Chain A
Amino acid sequence: MGRLKPLMVRQPRIFWRKNYIFALAFALLLALPFIFTAHFQHHVMIKVLMFTFLGCAWNIIGGYTGQVALGHAAFFGIGAYTSSLCYIWFGLNPWFGMFLGGILAVAVSAVINYPCFRLHGRYFAIATLALGMIIRLLFTNWRLVGGALGVRLPLLPESLWNFQFHTTKLPYYYIALVLCALIFAILYKIERSKLGFYLRAIKESEEAARSLGIDVAKYKLVAMSISVFFTAMAGTLYAQYILYIDPISLMPLMTSILICVVPVLGGAGTLWGPALGAPILLIAIEYSRAWLGGGGRGIDYMIVGAIMVAIIFRPGGLTSFFQGPRFRQWWRRIRG
């Protein structure tokens, strides 16, 4: 699915008829919170969707463009802080704060990441990791934004406008679902656009891309900006969901790593990779903790570590299972 395919213009109606599997899957996703009804189960679903979203966002720079950015938790944090503080200081509605956070994150990322675009491979990875750490340390010690004390969001009556729900988590689930649908639509478009080809060309070989007349630095910046914008949006969702943010738990290295494990587990640079990786990883994390965490012997994290190691046995990620000839045959038969 991630391979370069000739552009096909499809009629939307035919698309749905031909892809009733997707329609079914989407209907199942809509119904899921009514099948599993406990708050904790909803929490797991929201986390899965949130990380699918984050994974898709990361995929743009890390997967398609092949630039391993390891500091995305910082932008996630910037999004969360911007919308929360804008509400507390100026009374700005978090929905606008969400976009403002995205824009601010893009601005920050443009300033600090642009110089790093000339770095290659691991140097870029470590540089972004370091930048992420710097942002986290700055937030921890920046008293104006709460410092280590964090920010507590004032409780408001629950409504979609206020972006706060106390008695139920369902709205958060559907908001996350809509965000995911949005990013999938955008990625679908990008994959089939000129931009998508440019990005993949950069991934294959920067020199070759440059010789074809692609402005490598510009398109890396574009990819990074889109990626960071969505990452920051997810930050707002997180802040409105937890209603308390602090730099130490919001921007740890572990979050940055998880953000890229999700797509890599599913298949980096593929549209459906994050959607496969996130459920497996997050359900493993949440449920192994729920079952074994109370024992306090670290077995749950051993499982998570083992999953991350296990990726090497299928370097193409889980989507690569669906790309073999046998699967294609089967798929064709199902679709009739």
Chain B
Amino acid sequence: MKNKILLLCMAFILVAAFALPGCVPEVAPPEEEEEEEEVVEPVKIGAIYPLTGPLAAIGTEIKQVVELAADIVNNSYDIDLPFARGEGLPGLGGAPIEVVFADSKGSPETGLAEAERLIEMEGVVALIGCYQSSVTETASFAAERLAIPYLNPESTYPGLTDRGFKWFFRNTPHDYTFSETFFKFLEDLKEKEGLDHSEIENVAILYEDTLWGVGTSDAEKDLIAKKYPAGAEYNIVADIAYAHEAASVTSEVMKLKAANPDIVLMASYLSDALLFQKEFKALDFNPKAILAMDAGHIHPDFVSTLGADANYIFTREVWSLDLSVVNPLIGIVNDIYYERHGKNMDGTTARSFTGLMVLADVLNRAGSTEPEAIREALVETDIPPEDLIVPWKGVKFDETGQNMYGEGVISQIIDESWHTVYPSEFALRDWVYPQPTWAER
């Protein structure tokens, strides 16, 4: 018996020894300084994100950034963002925003259940989330059934706004828009580099096999079939879907090598993006350019783990740190975030931040927490570009609930950071094309 206890203790100490150094002290959000004279009921907003499971890393970052946005609204910050100066929402008598988080576990069914729980048992007046398009699909359905406004800041599957929903609004541009940006960029590239059409002709499409990856690849294939823009012609030499939970991606890379494309269009989450880039190097795969669909390739950890090996990837973006030259808000917000969590923001978290800020604006204008009033305000939303930390022309929803003014940019990783290279009005740096081969780096 003694022996047993001893061993248990040893095992425990061992686990603790592994555990303790890794424990990241949680940065406590500043205590809310309510309860002074008058107590204003906070406005509750529900947020559903994948906080556990394979996508927990990104879900946790979104949670942090949404908390930051709520903090900026609730407390006084000296920033040129709406509601930053002053506490709470003036339109609601200075009521602060309280974000109630729920874990979707990356499952559509759980997303649905959590949406219902937040609405009925937590009494939230609006919902945001859920990152993954498949979860947004069901969670927004619950909101539609229970007649609660749903603002989606980051799911890009185009079909989400085709459902004729009354209560669903989407802030981010969707994959079809983004893919169009890709092809417009390629035209621009050909023109500026003086390339002949045949020099960028063979395209390989590489994507992970979930709703998002397949959805983007469909949009790309559709645009290629339509010869977008203006009769551009491409050959798809490889169309590779890969299982997102596979450990080894070598056969995919070898297939790419065999197809020998000029351009690779990629859609990967962070873990696969890292594995692929490692294998590209190990197996000496040298396309002329890799064009990635944000997600994994815009995550700060992509560069911090790969270092110089991450260079020269083009990626679609909605945000970039270097744009702070054009829009100083980007730098200011990112600095606060960096200070709290030791990481930069990225295009995903920037969109989630924007999502909550838009919702704050809507609630403020609605002047009420009645769902119908909030919906009215959502429909009437018209936020100018200078109030946003993303390079959009503003936020205004069309009749399907899609933001009409959202736009994508293309940035390239050069010298281990992202630089906006397209469209030219935002471009602060020249692109590198073609990317150097691994031997030349």
Direct contact of A and B (CB under 8 A): yes
B-facing mask of A130-155, CB < 8 A → 1, else 0? 00000001001100000111101000
The verdict on A40 contacting B52 (CB below 8 Å), with A294-B100, A294-B101 known, is no
Q: Cβ of A244 and Cβ of B215 under 8 Å apart?
A: no
The interface residues of chain A lying within 8 Å CB-to-CB of B209 are 140-141, 147-148
Is A163 an interface residue when CB atoms closer than 8 A count as contact?
Answer: no
In the assembled complex, the CB of A85 is this many whole angstroms from the nearest CB of chain B, namely 17
Answer yes or no: A108 CB below 8 A from chain B CBs.
Answer: no
Q: Please give, as numbers and ranges, the residues of chain A lying within 8 Å of B60 by CB-CB distance.
A: 296
B317 interfacial by beta-carbon distance below 8 Å: no
Q: Which of A167, A246, A289, A298 contacts B110 (CB 8 A)?
A: A289
Distance (whole angstroms) from the CB of A287 to the closest CB of chain B: 10
In B342-376, which residues have CB < 8 Å from any A CB? none
Q: Is the CB of B108 within 8 A of A246?
A: yes
Residues of chain A within 8 A (CB-CB) of B119 are 39
Contact B52–A300 (Cβ < 8 Å): yes
What is the distance, in angstroms, from A152's C-beta to the closest C-beta of chain B? Answer: 7
Q: Does A293 touch B at the CB level, under 8 Å?
A: yes
| B-contact 0/1 string along A297-316, CB 8 Å cutoff | 01011000000000000000
List, in ascending order, chain A residues with CB within 8 A of B243's CB.
Answer: 137, 140
> Which residues 84-100 of B sit at the A interface, judged by CB distance below 8 A?
100
| Contacts across chains A and B counted by CB atoms under 8 Å | 101
Q: Is the CB of A150 within 8 A of B59?
A: no
| Closest CB in chain A relative to B129 CB, distance in Å | 12
Q: CA of A137 to CA of B243 in the docked complex: distance in angstroms?
A: 8
Within B134-170, the residues touching A (CB, 8 Å) are: 134, 137-138, 141-142, 145-146, 159
Residue of A nearest to B108 (CB): A249
Chain A contact residues, majority secondary structure: helix
B residues 51-72 in Cβ contact with A at 8 Å: 51-52, 56, 59-60, 63
Task: Give Cα A141 to B244, complex, Å.
Answer: 12
Give the interface size bracket for B toward A.
35 or more
Contact across chains for B52 and A244 when beta carbons are under 8 A apart: no
- B322 interfacial by beta-carbon distance below 8 Å: no
Q: Considering residues B52, B110, B134, B146, which has the most beta carbons from chain A within 10 angstroms of its beta carbon?
A: B52
Q: Are A293 and B52 in contact (CB-based, < 8 A)?
A: yes
CB of B384, distance to nearest CB on chain A (Å):
33
Contacts of A298 in B (CB 8 A): 52, 56
B52:A301 contact, CB within 8 angstroms = yes
B116 touches A293 (CB 8 A): no
A39 touches B146 (CB 8 A): yes
Contacting pair B52 A242 (CB below 8 A):
no
Which of A25-74 touch B at CB < 8 Å? 38-40, 43-44
B104 to chain A, nearest CB (A): 9
Distance of B85 from chain A, by nearest CB (Å):
29
Cβ contact within 8 Å between B215 and A286 = no
B211 and A246 contacting across the interface, CB-CB below 8 Å: yes
- Give CA–CA (A244, B108) in the complex, Å: 8
Is the pair A141, B241 in contact by a Cβ cutoff of 8 Å? yes
- Docked CA distance A44–B112 (Å): 12
Q: Quick check: A244 and B137 within 8 Å, CB to CB?
A: yes
Contact B51 A242, beta carbon cutoff 8 Å = no
Bound CA–CA A141/B59 (angstroms): 26
Which chain A residue shows the least CB distance to B56? A296
B241 engages A294 (CB within 8 Å): no
- Distance of B23 from chain A, by nearest CB (Å): 11
**Contact of A39 with B134 at beta-carbon distance under 8 Å, contacts A149-B211, A296-B52, A300-B52 already known:** no
Q: Tell me the nearest residue of chain A to B26, going by C-beta.
A: A297
| A296-B109 contact in complex given A39-B116, A39-B146, A40-B117, C-beta closer than 8 Å | no
Contact with A along B197-231 (1 / 0, CB 8 A): 00000000000011101110000000000000000
- B211: which A residues are within 8 A, CB to CB? 148-150, 246
Q: Which residue of A lies closest to B103 (CB)?
A: A293
Chain B residues lying within 8 Å of A137, measured Cβ to Cβ, are 243
Q: Which residue of B lies closest to A38 (CB)?
A: B120
Rounded to whole angstroms, the CA-CA distance of A160 and B396 in the bound complex is 40
B117 to chain A, nearest CB (A): 4
Judge if B102 is at the interface, Cβ distance under 8 Å. Answer: yes
Complex interface residues of chain A between 217 and 246 (CB less than 8 A to chain B): 238, 242-244, 246
Bound-state Cα–Cα, A228 to B303, Å: 48
Give 11 pairs: A residue, B residue, CB < 8 Å, sorted on A.
A40-B117, A147-B214, A148-B209, A148-B211, A242-B138, A244-B138, A246-B108, A286-B113, A289-B103, A294-B102, A296-B49
15 more A-B contacts (CB under 8 A) besides A147-B209, A296-B52? A38-B121, A40-B121, A148-B209, A242-B112, A243-B141, A246-B211, A248-B134, A249-B107, A249-B134, A290-B117, A294-B51, A295-B101, A298-B56, A300-B52, A301-B52
9 closest residue pairs by CB, A with B: A296-B51, A293-B103, A40-B117, A294-B101, A39-B116, A148-B214, A38-B120, A43-B113, A249-B107
